Amino acid sequence: MRFLLAHGYRLEQVERGSRLVLPADESVIRRFRADAAADAGRDYTVHCWSEATPPPWRDDLALLYTRMSTDAPTAGLEEPEDVWSIERLVHEETSRVGSPRRMLTAAALHEPIGHLVAFTQLSVPAESDRSVGQEDTLVLREHRGHRLGMLLKTANLEYLAQESPGHPSVTTFNVEENRHMLAVNEALGFVPMGYEGAWKRVVPPPEPSTPPRLRQC
């Protein structure tokens, strides 16, 4: 840390690693899911799938992946927009065919518009003695405030228990300024296991070079 500070770096973001010991308390998961579903109302329905995204929802998930690069908290770190197309999504999912890991997805469909507006994913190893990795979770800004994050997290944990039981834990990483998602995880039983920091140094642009002056001979 002293080295970084001495060379002009500034701590820009802190990320917390957390772990949920499995099996999770089923009564707690059911209660949180029921409460979140009541708050979300009938306009939102949950859909879960394993591996490849159903074709009708590929465009929606590609948009959600793109919005991960613009809607997620980044503190003072400049993150360019990472655009996903249907072709890129299909290529990514096809490349996972034959992998020992499975991707479990839970997504929220906004019934009035017929589009997915939130998702969460779990990366599940083949070995039951290894931890499951929590991948991206996102609720589009315009659909926040309906407890969709809690609704999808609990739905995917129940889906995991059905599809691939026996894993010891789920691990996840969240930036400290994302207090809402941290509160969701803490309510579900996640506990901190470590922290890491992202440091930033702003390098000033180089001074414009002065062309050499020519002398007449």
Contacts of 1 (CB under 8 A, 6+ apart): none
Residues paired with 133 in a beta bridge: 123, 171
Residue spans per domain, the chain = 2-200
Q: Which pLDDT tens digit goes with each residue over 148-202? A: 999 999 999 999 999 999 999 999 998 888 889 999 999 999 999 998 877 778 7
One CATH from 3.30.365.10, 3.90.420.10, 3.40.1190.20, 3.40.630.30 for 2-200? 3.40.630.30
Q: Which pLDDT tens digit goes with each residue over 1-57? A: 788 777 777 777 778 999 999 999 999 999 999 999 999 999 999 999 999 999 999
Q: How many Å apart are CA 20 and CA 188, to the nearest integer? A: 8
The pTM is what? 0.85
Q: How many Å apart are CA 181 and CA 162, to the nearest integer? A: 24
Q: How many Å apart are CA 132 and CA 103, to the nearest integer? A: 10
User: What confidence score (pLDDT) does residue 76 get?
Assistant: 64
